[in-house]
Structure 1
């Protein structure tokens, strides 16, 4: 951990901690790890907009907080709308304050997608980050549009029967100046992408995989290992898109050449304990299709 911290600070991120000790996060929480690196990359002149999600809990109980920057807690569907007004206000005052909306997959893929689409269409100067634990983690791990097929949640106890929503291609259809995917297990890649996003004016979007120990049913000590396996199998692809130019990140390039066994990823998590063979085939087919499409796009085909 020390080596990673030093390398990230040396890459140009802040040495100051903006997520303090004693958060209300679960043990092994990767979304708090993500936010730590996001804010170190963004720096002190940043305002965070947080809708209903795990993050609105882990910051602590009023009047105390574990966050060392201004935070606006807003309604589930309103993060992008509030961030739009905030960005416009800062611009009118001639300020370059970073406005970051930080929302879970429930508040992005499902409940907040209309506000997000509107903000992107209006070319709002902000960064929207979806940290994706593939369910409604804050309210008991109910299925979301981002929950993978076969995964057990409190509302799909026998395993989800529908495919997950392709959020990234929905966002890409808005033709953003910048969007990227990342994973909590690769903090240097994540921090560099945040810095790049904030250097560009206009709407930016990042989709970050956030493994969840209680929701995914694995030991809290395995968070980084689970995240890396998601990338190594090719199931979670990491890349950057600047308008029509797509660049695939190194770990995903490696997965395209020699992927780790998909079954090994599933075996690490109790939520996939009832996964059927035909569901594995479906997931594998969707994964291979996604990687083919990304490779073709990156090669200009």
Structure 2
């Protein structure tokens, strides 16, 4: 049995570097870590979005493994073709991995992703979720949380940012009875690494949804990306979980939540929220956690 990959044992090789991402970019860290776990035999597919924009700049390609840009809607369908084509020509010991943002996954790419899961194609799909269409100017996506200010959900006297809750994509994916799905965060890299490694060894479609803050879109200092991701977990607005064999398992079960108000008001996108708005978000959080505690398994070891 091989040892699990850790910060001490992960490869020194880099497969995504020299890119043009903004300082403090959570998405670039998620992609870097994912490819370090998967290694040089990974074949990555990236749709239009932040990571393709910063990683494919002719003549400078920032991926040292085989990588290709897909259509915005076609990450999962291109992954299907890449995986099937590689097998057809006799390539072995590889992993086809998609690396797509929240808009390209939850909105534009959800049909292709649903189809791939339905076929149970042997692919790994990773959504790096920065909660808006950051590459094109910070527009609302289906994963933008309630109250967040974006260029298409501005805050004003009568409307305080986004009026809709964040789409529950993890459970939407799980509802397909997928082989394996998980949530993760760059605020807990050991957990993220473990889940990538696990998913890469499972036959069939696997999915990881990793929160990856964007300093510009979230309105935070560039040196606080990791810290804000951790606070999102600690205040209960994100959870670390897995879905496998028809069961949900919670990986981290906080005994007490930290202040949701402190988390929200530390970000420019939420500065306009009043106490009533914050109470709505707290109520949504509490209702979700009540359902989790009632219906999901819980791991014994807290991460």
Q: TM-score, normalised by structure 1?
A: 0.92
Is 2:196 the partner of 1:194?
A: yes
Show CA shifts across 1:234-291 (max 9, x none): 10111111132222123xx12xx11111001101100001113332222112212222
Kindly indicate which of the two structures has a greater share of residues assigned to helix. Answer: 1
CA-based RMSD: 1.5
Q: Partner residue of 2:97?
A: 100
Task: Find the aligned partners of 1:276 and 1:172 in 2 and give their Cα distance.
Answer: 34
Contact 1:215 1:271 in 2 (8 A): yes
Task: Find the aligned partners of 1:31 and 1:9 in 2 and give their Cα distance.
Answer: 22
Task: Find the aligned partners of 1:60 and 1:74 in 2 and give their Cα distance.
Answer: 12
Contact 1:17 1:36 in 2 (8 A): yes
Q: How far off its partner does 1:193 sit?
A: 0.4
Change (3 A) 1:105 1:124: same
Aligned counterpart in structure 1 of residue 281 of structure 2, from 277, 280, 283: 283
Q: How far off its partner does 1:60 sit?
A: 4.3
Q: How far off its partner does 1:131 sit?
A: 0.5
Q: SS of the counterpart of 1:247? A: strand
Q: SS of the counterpart of 2:124? A: strand
Hey, which bits of structure 1, 4+ residues long, moved more than 4 A? none
Question: Structure 1, unaligned stretches of length 5 or more?
Answer: 1-5
Q: How far off its partner does 1:59 sit?
A: 0.8
Is 2:79 the partner of 1:80?
A: no
Task: Find the aligned partners of 1:65 and 1:91 in 2 and give their Cα distance.
Answer: 25
Task: Find the aligned partners of 1:297 and 1:174 in 2 and give their Cα distance.
Answer: 18
Q: Partner residue of 1:249?
A: 251
Contact 1:182 1:206 in 2 (8 A): yes
Q: Partner residue of 2:179?
A: 177
Q: SS of the counterpart of 2:57? A: coil
Question: Counterparts in 2 of 1:135-146, with a 5 A limit?
Answer: 135-146=132-143
Q: How far off its partner does 1:162 sit?
A: 1.3
Q: SS of the counterpart of 2:208? A: strand
Q: Partner residue of 2:7?
A: 8
Q: Partner residue of 2:27?
A: 31
Q: Partner residue of 2:158?
A: none
Q: Partner residue of 2:113?
A: 116
Task: Find the aligned partners of 1:176 and 1:295 in 2 and give their Cα distance.
Answer: 22
Q: TM-score, normalised by structure 2?
A: 0.91
Q: Partner residue of 2:301?
A: none
Task: Find the aligned partners of 2:166 and 2:220 in 1 and give their Cα distance.
Answer: 21
Question: Structure 2, unaligned stretches of length 5 or more?
Answer: 156-160, 299-303
